[in-house]
Amino acid sequence: MNKRKIPVISIALYALAGLLVLYASWALYHSHSYISEMMELNQIMFSGNEFDIVNFYMTNSAQYVVFAVMLFTLGWMLQKNTAGTAGNFDNRSKGKANGKSALPYTVGDAEAGDEDFEEWFQNNDK
């Protein structure tokens, strides 16, 4: 079986995301009960106060869902990044990855690019 180790920081980010989802659901429940109670007592009417009611929900619960999604995504990206590069680490340390240079270009390529620029500059200089 192929067992992959999940990095500790990914586990921590997943745990924080889970806690934020729990808190967001708890806050959503209490926000809804508070708004419902205010409407039953005729202290607030929905028409004319739509923005305030939606803003109340957003500030008390929805932002924590967004934070949880961001933390979960960050943990997932970190996990995928470490799983994808673990096998190629030795090859990259030698300067080669999968038979190709680990760098996007070599020094010779950069010098050739400089010569092309100089040629272009000379041809377009007025």
Distance from C-alpha of 14 to C-alpha of 71, rounded to nearest angstrom: 7
Compute the average pLDDT of residues 104-108. Answer: 54
Domain membership flag for residue 46: yes
Domain membership flag for residue 6: yes
Number of domains in the chain: 1
**Residue 46: pLDDT above 60?**
yes
Compute the average pLDDT of residues 68-79. Answer: 94
The two three-digit tokens of residue 6, written as one number: 């999940």
pTM: 0.59
Q: What's the mean pLDDT when you consider all of the chain? A: 80
Range of the structural domain that residue 43 is part of = 1-88
Compute the average pLDDT of residues 23-32. Answer: 95
